Structure 1
Amino acid sequence: MKIKATLDRIPGGMMVVPLLLAASVNTFFPNILRIGGFTEALFVNSASALIALFLLIAGTQINLRTAKASVAKGVTLLSVKWLLGVAVGLLAFWLADSNGLFLGLAPIAIIGAMTNSNGGLYIAFAGQYGKEEDKAAYPFLALSDGPFLTMVALSIFGAMGFANGLFSPMSFVAVLLPLAVGILLGNLDKEMGDFLYKGSDKLVPFFAFALGMGINFSAIIKGGLSGILLGVITVLLTGGGLYLLFKFLGWNPIVGAAEGSTAGNAVGTPAAIAAANVSFAPIAELATVQIAASVVTTSILLPIFIGFLAKRLEKEKGGLAKYNMSVKERRELEASSVIEK
């Protein structure tokens, strides 16, 4: 039975298939793997630990030159995704009906869903299609976790002020530290870095499965068509927008598209906002189920979208591989293209 060969034929298969399989298990048999011990530790609760290890290993391949590129990409991903989400959210506020909804969507649901991305999905796609510097951009994306950036947007809109406790600098340090340890190890001893790097991609299907155990397909039903629409908008606008921007900048566009998702922790954003400002309380419950539907929708749709984009890129001169080349190799490829023309 050729399981690996089958997964390799599916775009992002090493991540997509385990994630959807686990989501199916969690939807229909939620307690079958929640039996404690090693079973629950590996198949249900391991995502954070495995992603942290994946980041540490990625860090062993980073030097000062690539670290600069990682910072540039991370800041670009974070800021552009936020700006796109805020722009659509502001439009929704302007065009909202008498119920405060736009196309059935709560504006705070739009901002919460579009500005907060699934780090696990990003790591999986950056690991499959990108370079080490792309994976190392992840810690900056962790700044979007939780309701902080949604609060910033609402503050700018004049709807509310900042609230204490919604963002902790130590949370950012906690995400950055495994990567920093990896960078230190890799730069102190290249052989140690090479040793850790071997087989690091084997972590992907395991943390993808654990991520899937946090997804329940019933969220799509509760969120209704408006929640599905929110997921589609998130994938197409944030994922598609960053794909085009990264391609324009000469960076791997698939890495940009990998930000087109909604993180599971965004589900708690409406409740946090309502706690800080009671004027949002009447819409918080609806916004919560819509964001939950977006989480599930983007988890299914983004891999399909990225598979489509990857196939398109492979038709170009040099294919997807050219975006993972060095500057010198890229220039040589471009020069050969000019000569051929």
Structure 2
Amino acid sequence: MKIKATLERIPGGMMVVPLLLAAILNTVAPELLRIGNFTQALFVDGSSTLIALFLLCTGAQINFRNVGVSLGKGATLLTTKWLVGALIGLIAYIFAGENGLWLGLAPIAIIAAMTNSNGGLYVALVGQYGDKTDRAAYSLLALNDGPFFTMVALSIFGAMGFVDGLFSFVSFIAVLLPIIVGMVLGNLDEEMRAFLDKGSSMLIPFFAFSLGMGIDFVAIIEGGLSGVILGLATVFLTGTAGYFVFKAFKWNPIAGAAEGSTAGNAVATPAAIAAASAGFASHVDLATVQVAASTVTTAILLPIYIGYLVKRLEKKGTKIPDDYVIK
């Protein structure tokens, strides 16, 4: 059987096929692989460990002279993602009806979903379509995990005061450290760099499957059409913005588009904000299911959108990622 060749013919296949298979399995038989020991550790609970190892392998491919490029890409993506999400959230607040909703969406859900991104999905996509500096940019993108940037947007809008304690510097370092370890190993020994290079692509389908085991298609139903619309907006607005910003900088635009997702941990953001300010309590339940629906929608749609963008560039004679690889 030509499993690998078949997956490679599907846009983002190494990522999207295992993820969708796992999501289907998690929806119809969630306990099937949750039997403990090695099976559950690899196929259900392994995403964090596998992604950490992926980042270490990726870090080993980074030459110290290219660190600035990675940080520049990460900062650019972080800023673009936040600006688009915050702007749409501001529009939602301005035009919200008497019930506090805009087009059926809670503004807090819009900001939470659109300023946050699925790091696992990003590293999987740039692992297939990006270069080492695109992958290393994730170390900075980890800043948008959790409610921190949602709170920043709300404080700027005057909706609530800035709340301390929502960003952990230790958590940021914990994300960055595997990349640093990989960088040190790769720069000290070229043979270690070559050895660890093999892990970068090999790990993608495994942590994609594990990520899929955290997706339940029921979330789309519970979130309703409004949650799906939020997911579509996240992919096509933040992803497309990242695409054109990266293209303007003459960086791989596919890496820019790969940030157009909503992370699973964003589901907890509305509750975290309501805990800090009771004024948001009335929309917590609705916002939570809308963000959950956006998470599932973006996890499915973004790899397909990325595949479309890749084919579009290839038709114009641009090879991805070859034409944007920093040697």
TM-score, scaled relative to structure 2: 0.98
Q: Deviations over 1:243-290 (max 9, x none)?
A: 111112110011001000000000000000000000100001100000
CA RMSD of aligned residues (A): 1.1
- Cα deviation for residue 139 of structure 1 reads 1.1
- In the alignment, which residue of structure 2 is the partner of 1:226? 226
Q: Deviations over 1:34-83 (max 9, x none)?
A: 01000000000100001111111111111222111000000001111001
- In the alignment, which residue of structure 2 is the partner of 1:312? 312
| Structure 2 residue matching 1:80: 3-state secondary structure | helix
Tell me how far apart the structure 1 counterparts of residues 36 and 55 of structure 2 sit (CA, whole Å): 26
Q: Deviations over 1:190-219 (max 9, x none)?
A: 111111112431100000000000000000
- In the alignment, which residue of structure 2 is the partner of 1:13? 13
- AA matched with 1:23: A
Tell me how far apart the structure 1 counterparts of residues 318 and 216 of structure 2 sit (CA, whole Å): 40
- Going from structure 1 to structure 2, the CA distance change for 1:283 and 1:129 (only over 3 Å counts) comes to same
Task: Write out the 4+ residue segments of structure 1 that deviate beyond 6 Å after TM superposition.
Answer: none
Tell me how far apart the structure 2 counterparts of residues 37 and 19 of structure 1 sit (CA, whole Å): 21
- AA matched with 1:285: D
The percentage of aligned residue pairs carrying the same residue is 67
- In the alignment, which residue of structure 1 is the partner of 2:269? 269
- In the alignment, which residue of structure 2 is the partner of 1:84? 84
- AA matched with 1:60: A
Native 8 Å contact 2:131 2:321 kept in 1? no
2:32 equivalent to 1:57: no
- Point out the more displaced range, 164-173 or 67-76: 164-173
Tell me how far apart the structure 1 counterparts of residues 57 and 196 of structure 2 sit (CA, whole Å): 6
Native 8 Å contact 1:126 1:135 kept in 2? yes
2:43 equivalent to 1:43: yes
Larger Rg: 1
- Cα deviation for residue 130 of structure 1 reads 0.7
- Going from structure 1 to structure 2, the CA distance change for 1:271 and 1:321 (only over 3 Å counts) comes to closer
- In the alignment, which residue of structure 2 is the partner of 1:215? 215
Native 8 Å contact 2:82 2:115 kept in 1? yes
| Structure 2 residue matching 1:320: 3-state secondary structure | coil
| Structure 2 residue matching 1:103: 3-state secondary structure | coil
- Going from structure 1 to structure 2, the CA distance change for 1:325 and 1:276 (only over 3 Å counts) comes to closer
| Structure 1 residue matching 2:203: 3-state secondary structure | helix
Number of residue equivalences? 327
- Going from structure 1 to structure 2, the CA distance change for 1:324 and 1:25 (only over 3 Å counts) comes to same
Tell me how far apart the structure 1 counterparts of residues 302 and 130 of structure 2 sit (CA, whole Å): 16
- In the alignment, which residue of structure 2 is the partner of 1:72? 72
Native 8 Å contact 1:134 1:255 kept in 2? yes
Q: Deviations over 1:167-205 (max 9, x none)?
A: 110110000000000111111111111111124311000
Native 8 Å contact 2:117 2:260 kept in 1? yes
- Point out the more displaced range, 47-56 or 61-70: 61-70
- Point out the more displaced range, 8-17 or 161-170: 161-170
Within 5 A, what are the aligned runs for 1:21-170?
A: 21-170=21-170
Native 8 Å contact 1:251 1:323 kept in 2? no
Tell me how far apart the structure 1 counterparts of residues 141 and 166 of structure 2 sit (CA, whole Å): 16
- In the alignment, which residue of structure 2 is the partner of 1:302? 302
Native 8 Å contact 1:250 1:323 kept in 2? no
- AA matched with 1:102: W
Native 8 Å contact 1:61 1:183 kept in 2? yes
Tell me how far apart the structure 1 counterparts of residues 223 and 156 of structure 2 sit (CA, whole Å): 27
- Cα deviation for residue 163 of structure 1 reads 2.3
Tell me how far apart the structure 1 counterparts of residues 309 and 318 of structure 2 sit (CA, whole Å): 15
- AA matched with 1:126: V
- In the alignment, which residue of structure 2 is the partner of 1:183? 183
Native 8 Å contact 2:131 2:326 kept in 1? no
Native 8 Å contact 2:12 2:307 kept in 1? yes
Tell me how far apart the structure 1 counterparts of residues 325 and 114 of structure 2 sit (CA, whole Å): 31
Native 8 Å contact 1:78 1:144 kept in 2? yes
- AA matched with 1:237: L
Native 8 Å contact 1:238 1:257 kept in 2? yes
- Point out the more displaced range, 261-270 or 59-68: 59-68
- Cα deviation for residue 164 of structure 1 reads 3.2
Tell me how far apart the structure 2 counterparts of residues 326 and 63 of structure 1 sit (CA, whole Å): 10
Native 8 Å contact 1:271 1:284 kept in 2? yes
- AA matched with 1:257: A
Native 8 Å contact 1:15 1:208 kept in 2? yes
- Cα deviation for residue 14 of structure 1 reads 0.6
Tell me how far apart the structure 1 counterparts of residues 237 and 222 of structure 2 sit (CA, whole Å): 23
Q: Which runs of 5+ in 1 are unaligned?
A: 328-341
Native 8 Å contact 2:54 2:199 kept in 1? no
| Structure 2 residue matching 1:198: 3-state secondary structure | helix
Q: Which runs of 5+ in 2 are unaligned?
A: none
